[in-house]
Amino acid sequence: MNTSKDPIHGNEKKSDSFWSKITKEFNQNKQREHHRDTNSLKIHWTRLSKMINEFNGYWISVCKMNKSGYSDDQLMDEAQKRYEKKNEKPFTLIHWWKILKDEPKWCTFVAQSEKDKSKKNGQAIDVDGIAEQRPIGRESAKQERRGKRKADQVMDGIEILGENINKIVEVTQERKKEREQTIEAQLEISRMSLQTAKEHKEAKLLEAYTSLLARDTSQMSAEAKISHEKTLVKMEKMIFKNDDEPCG
């Protein structure tokens, strides 16, 4: 609010610098350790402003009923009932609405929203009391139109940003899934390579054992025969060790 009401720069800020200043001020004055970036604040404001504008419409409608003897509290209760009936939940942003409802920029925004609704519905509605009654000059009208165009551009940018964020999330999830599949495939290849190497080693060992087993020992010395026999025993233990394990 302070950024928007800046009398020197409030109406001349470009969208990026305007929201950058809002982000900086928000994070400097936050009451909790909850940091927000610019995109998060834009999306948050878009969602909340729609809710506040909808409630404001019910408030205006109730005030125009001119019910005799109705206090402001009773009018507030009636507006709350209408909002809750439409949305199936109470309006919880009263403090925001009270801050915004009498601000010139918000009144202009509401008046334009009501005019747009009337054009869309083909009906003329009275917006007295919402916007300023004094006719504006040509330069002021030009500035107002430029401000509306900027506001529309900001809203369009926020919608596009939301769509882009969804696309980025989808792409990120797809890439994560692809990486997981690639890693699993690499692990499977490694397991197969290890199994192949193990089988190759066992085949070589069995070949050496068979060759040693068939060797003629009749011409060997007693010492050589003992060494030959020990070697065969060791190789048998290595080759047939799995066969000696009990079945589970």
Tell me: the pLDDT tens digits for 201-238?
888 888 898 988 888 888 889 999 899 899 989 888 88
User: What confidence score (pLDDT) does residue 136 get?
Assistant: 55
What's the chain's Rg over C-alpha atoms?
40
Predicted local distance difference test score (pLDDT) of residue 221: 92
Residue 202 dihedral angles phi and psi, to the nearest 5°: -65, -35
Q: What is the pLDDT of residue 25?
A: 67
- The pLDDT of 120-138, averaged and rounded, is 50
Tell me the C-alpha distance between 92 and 77, whole Å.
13
Q: Which phi and psi (to 5°) does residue 128 adopt?
A: -60, 140
Structure tokens at 20: 């950058």
More reliable by pLDDT, 150 or 170: 170
- Exposure string over 171-196, b if 16+ CB within 10 A, otherwise e: eeeeeeeeeeeeeeeeeeeeeeeeee
Q: Is the pLDDT of residue 248 over 60?
A: no
pLDDT for position 131: 41
Please give the share of the chain, as a percent, with pLDDT higher than 90. Answer: 5
What's the rounded Cα separation, in Å, for the pair 112 and 107? Answer: 9
37-63: b (≥16 Cβ within 10 Å) or e:
ebeeebbeeeeebebbbbbbbbbbebe
Backbone φ and ψ of 131, nearest 5°: -105, 170
Res. 161: pLDDT tops 80: yes
* pLDDT, position 11: 47
Residues 47-80 have pLDDT tens digits of: 888 888 888 888 888 888 766 677 888 888 888 8
**pLDDT for position 33:** 63
Percent of the chain with pLDDT over 70: 73
Confidence of residue 138 (pLDDT cuts 50, 70, 90): low
Range from 30-34, 103-107, 171-175 that averages highest in pLDDT: 171-175
Mean pLDDT of 138-156: 76
Higher pLDDT, 16 or 221: 221
Q: Residue type for 96, please?
A: W
pLDDT at residue number 226: 92
Range 86-107 average pLDDT: 83
